[in-house]
Amino acid sequence: MTDVLHDHPDHSPNRPLNGVRTPNKTPAAPRPRLRRRGLPRANYPAGLGSLIWLGIVGLPLYVLVAATFQTRDGYIDDGPLALPDHPTLANYRRVLRSDFLSYLLNTALVTAVCAAIVITLSVTVGYTVVRARGRTSRRIFQIFLLGLAIPSQAVVIPVYLVITKLHLYDTLLAVILPTAAFSLPVSVLILVGTMRDIDEELYESMALDGASPTRVLLQLVVPLSRSGISTVGVMSALHAWNGFLFPLLLTQSKSNRLLTLGLYDYVGEFRVDTPALLTAVVLSIVPIFLVYLFARRQLISGLMGVGGK
Amino acid sequence: MADAATRERRPTRERRPAPERRRSVRGAKVGRAGVGRPGVVWALPGALFFVFFAVAPMVLVGALAFTDWDGIGTPSWTGMSNWSRLWDDPETHQAIWLSLILTVLTWVFQTPLALLLGVWAAGRQRNRAVLSAIFFLPLLGSSVALALVWKSLLDPNFGLIADIGPALGFADGDLLGSSKGAFGAILFVTAWQFIPLHTLIYQGGARAIPRSLYDAAAIDGAGTVRQFFSITLPQLRNTIVTSSVIMVVGALTFFDTVLILTKGGPGTDTTIVPYLMYKNGFQAFDLGYASAVATILVVVATTVSLLLVRLTGFAAMRSTREGM
């Protein structure tokens, strides 16, 4: 978990220009200096501040996890900070026996389809923006840049109108389509950044061989943008998994319920059984946590890309 | 990946005559006769999809603001009536006021913390890396999940607030039941959720500052504090702009947290603009009026983001790393 934060945010292999940003490549800061741990002096006020922040971040997370092994009465009697006297898995059993798994399945489906749509569309758009000539492709890129500014909350009413007119209301597709659309601007931005760094000579040599655009895309652009594409995949998946407003307003029936909306419903269903509610919260985060463990580079560079590009 | 590169490069160097090479290097646009370049058609599926579900709705919301629509039938034209109502509605005035205060306080609260944490996390010490990995965790949860955790903690009967409430001036622990407390709770919970994102942005920005600047400053005898104000802060100017805009647009559109923590209450004291839109549109089914409220959001958020494009040269169409 630790090494990733040592990594450079732009870890993609095809970035030849950033020598300055990686200290051990700069002639001014040769390797041995980095090795000597003494170089950055210990900063005690900052260390103290970070410990305070650790408390602010860690305490709720501790309560969240500890409560899931607590009985309802134990939670009420001993308070949220107590370690469970008699750790129990009853909360997990209760949540899993409710409709949780069906919500999970719906969410997984929506997430996978969203990510597939976003990857397909943003790769083709990114490729066109970087390689096509003329004004139109630049205009298209500007539409997406402008699109970064559109908050989904603000346009949810017309989206609702469009979805009902298409007779998609209360289907999973009703959530998938707008969710994917709102993931596109950032994805296009990330991929345009990655694809621009592909060496011009590579394109030219493929053109010399008479390669079609399709072949250039599949044999050159996609392989060399793999890091950007996986970032886009992880980001759009996270966006779809955590989305709440579109499911809330565009679906209704229990069979089409997604996890976030399900969690919201558990507030009523579990009422004062806080441990059960928090267990549902934990279970909803577990899949993302697994992604964090296995794809943290993509996640972090994607989140940095949101603001960093 | 690497062998694809070498495989393609070698024959090129041998075969290509020199004059042609110069021409294509000067401007990619003038290169060979368009062989292997995609036409604009390639971008059409993505562009049309995006226009249909995001850009068109943005225009449509402005049109719907001049209609009366209950969500089931067809919207009917009513001219300016939504707007004159909006002009006179004290609840709307309050919502706009609350949104503005929340946005300003969010910036004031989150920016210094995220900036300090980000610069701190950019250091390569091992303890910083470990702690940063923990600080990152709130980013994984949905705002619904995180708001539910905080709602449990702020429960006046069984939550943490029952114990520490008296110290904060809420003897009965009913923080969410008081106007100021509920507003503060939204400010704090959203900060708790989003500071990690901005920390990450600042961390990336701080790591991009050339090491040599600090080395030179150290030789001149500048201490940590001096270096922070003379090098780090000026170098992070663009990062601050970017982060601020994301923060401001985010604060203007907080919805999930409000719905779960306070439902706009007590009374209407935390009913900010997005929640007001939801209330009018999807609880009262007055979608025409709600569209007028939403239009305000679109205009403000778009204006702020266009400022971003201006200030940071976002649209410069070039790799951000060029010239470094």
ipTM of the complex, rounded to two decimals: 0.81
B68 phi/psi in degrees, rounded to 5: -115, 125
Q: Which residues contact A242 (CB under 8 A, 6 or more apart)?
A: A260, A288, B141, B142, B143, B144, B145
Q: How many residues does chain A have?
A: 309
- Which residue in this structure is represented by tokens 């943490």? B160
Of residues A306 and B128, which shows the higher confidence score?
B128
Domain-located, residue B30: no
Identify the CA nearest to B96 among candidates B273, B324, B239.
B273
Domain of B298, CATH number, reads 1.10.3720.10
Residue span of the structural domain in which B233 resides: 89-311
Per CB-CB distance under 8 Å, the chain A contacts of B294 are 153-157
CB contact under 8 Å between A1 and B133, yes or no, is: yes
Candidate from A127, A204, A241 with C-beta closest to B38: A127
Q: Count how many domains chain B has.
A: 1
CB contact under 8 Å between A193 and B71, yes or no, is: no
Domain-located, residue B323: no
Helix axes A44-68, B179-207, angle to 10 degrees: 120
Q: What is the CA radius of gyration of chain B?
A: 26
User: How many A/B residue pairs have CB atoms within 8 Å?
Assistant: 399
The pLDDT value given to residue B108: 95
Domain-located, residue B63: no
CA distances, B314 to each of A230, B98, B197, B223, B318 (Å): 23, 30, 20, 34, 9
Domain-located, residue B112: yes
User: Which three-class secondary structure state does DSSP give residue B77?
Assistant: strand
Do A17 and A8 contact (CB within 8 A), yes or no? no
CB contact under 8 Å between A307 and B36, yes or no, is: no
The pLDDT value given to residue A41: 62
Computed over every residue of chain B, the mean pLDDT equals 81
Q: Which residues contact B5 (CB under 8 A, 6 or more apart)?
A: A199, A202, A224
Domain-located, residue B179: yes
Q: Give CA–CA dist A192/A202, Å, rounded.
A: 17
- B19 in contact with chain A, both atoms CB, cutoff 8 A: no
Per CB-CB distance under 8 Å, the chain A contacts of B128 are 5, 50
Least confident of A28-32, B104-108, B191-195: A28-32
Best B51, B66, B140, B213 residue to mutate vs chain A (most A CBs within 10 Å): B140
The residue extents of the domains of chain A are: 23-90, 95-308
Two tokens, residue A7: 């990594």
Domain-located, residue B277: yes
Q: Give CA–CA dist A284/A99, Å, rounded.
A: 13
Looking at CATH, the fold of the domain delimited by A95-308 is given as MetI-like fold (1.10.3720)
| pLDDT of B116 higher than 50 | yes
The pLDDT value given to residue A47: 83
Domain-located, residue B13: no
Burial class (CB in 10 A: 0-12, 13-18, 19+), B234: exposed
CB contact under 8 Å between A40 and B43, yes or no, is: no
Is the preceding peptide bond at B266 cis, omega within 30 degrees of 0?
A: yes
Residue of A nearest to B26 (CA): A200
CA distances, A304 to each of A182, A235, A296, B128, B168 (Å): 18, 11, 12, 18, 35
Could you read off the pLDDT tens digit of each residue along chain A, which spans 309 residues?
A: 333 334 444 444 443 333 334 444 444 444 444 434 445 566 788 888 889 999 999 999 998 998 889 888 888 887 788 787 778 888 899 888 888 999 999 999 999 999 999 999 999 999 999 888 878 888 899 888 888 778 888 899 999 999 999 999 999 999 999 999 999 998 998 899 888 888 888 888 888 888 888 888 888 889 888 888 988 998 899 899 999 999 999 999 999 999 999 999 888 888 778 889 999 999 999 998 888 888 887 777 777 765 443
Residue of B nearest to A194 (CA): B319
Domain-located, residue B146: yes
Q: What is the CA radius of gyration of chain A?
A: 24
Residue of A nearest to B121 (CA): A5
Determine the distance from the C-alpha atom of residue A145 to the mean position of all C-alpha atoms in its chain, rounded to a whole number.
19
